[in-house]
Amino acid sequence: MKSARGIPLGPTNHIIIPQQPFFDENQMANLESFRQESVSFQLERFPELGVRISDALGDEPILVGGNDMVFDKDVYKEIKLRILWPGYSRFPFERRLKTRDTKASRSLVLMLLSRAIADFIKHVNHNRIPVEQGFERWEVGMHRPSITSKDLFVTGLIHRGGSNWQPEIWCPSNRAN
């Protein structure tokens, strides 16, 4: 799949994690009137969107627009990051990221987002939260055959209205079998 500009939408041989889109009922009235552009993550000199989470947590990867202040138009003092992983609908994950009075560069946001996704996986593993029946292929954990943070790429953040944002996460396509 490619964008209208011909850029691949995600990493080759990977599929997007099918999260349920999150919308805050209190923000629905404002949803149509104020939407921010999605924030994308792409390595310099690499044709596809996406950065491996484990790379983002290691050495700081060099991103296209890595020093861009991505929330400079945001009127909220923090954003709410929501992960609604398939098979864990009873355990939605939320992380608040401070954005006002901080230098929220694209690179910093990627690192914080990657940390939040890794923390979600650790939380599921530590608390032995079972994946719901019928969603076994989306099971996350610290070791294979579960999906681990080393398997995952993040391509962007999607604005869901108000201070709510949701990550676009990709895993190897063989997980869909």
One pLDDT digit (tens) per residue for the chain, 177 residues: 454 455 557 888 899 999 988 776 665 555 555 677 889 999 998 888 999 999 999 888 888 888 888 876 656 778 899 999 999 988 889 999 887 666 688 898 999 999 999 999 999 999 999 999 999 999 999 888 899 999 999 999 998 888 889 999 999 988 655
Instruction: For residue 88, tell me if it sits in a domain.
Output: yes
Q: What pLDDT sits at residue 67?
A: 86
Q: Give the number of domains in the chain.
A: 1
Q: What pLDDT sits at residue 26?
A: 61
Instruction: For residue 6, tell me if it sits in a domain.
Output: no
Domain ranges, residue 117: 14-170
Q: What pLDDT sits at residue 4?
A: 47
Q: What pLDDT sits at residue 116?
A: 94
Instruction: For residue 131, tell me if it sits in a domain.
Output: yes
Give me the residue label for tokens 């910093």.
108
Q: What pLDDT sits at residue 22?
A: 78
DSSP one-letter code for 45: T
Instruction: For residue 1, tell me if it sits in a domain.
Output: no
d(CA 153, CA 36) in angstroms, rounded, equals 22
d(CA 147, CA 88) in angstroms, rounded, equals 13
3-state secondary structure of 119: helix
Sequence-distant (6+) residues with CB within 8 A of 13 are 172, 173, 174
Q: What pLDDT sits at residue 40?
A: 92
d(CA 32, CA 12) in angstroms, rounded, equals 33
d(CA 87, CA 133) in angstroms, rounded, equals 7
CA-to-CA separations, 97 to 90, 101, 113, 117, in angstroms, rounded:
22, 12, 9, 13
Instruction: For residue 5, tell me if it sits in a domain.
Output: no
Instruction: For residue 150, tell me if it sits in a domain.
Output: yes
Q: Which of 133, 117, 54, 33 is nearest to 81 (CA)?
A: 117
Instruction: For residue 48, tell me if it sits in a domain.
Output: yes
Q: What angle do CA 36, 97, 100 make, to 5 degrees?
A: 70
Whether residue 150 contacts residue 17, with contact meaning beta carbons closer than 8 Å, is answered with: no
Instruction: For residue 136, tell me if it sits in a domain.
Output: yes
Q: What pLDDT sits at residue 84?
A: 93
d(CA 83, CA 153) in angstroms, rounded, equals 14
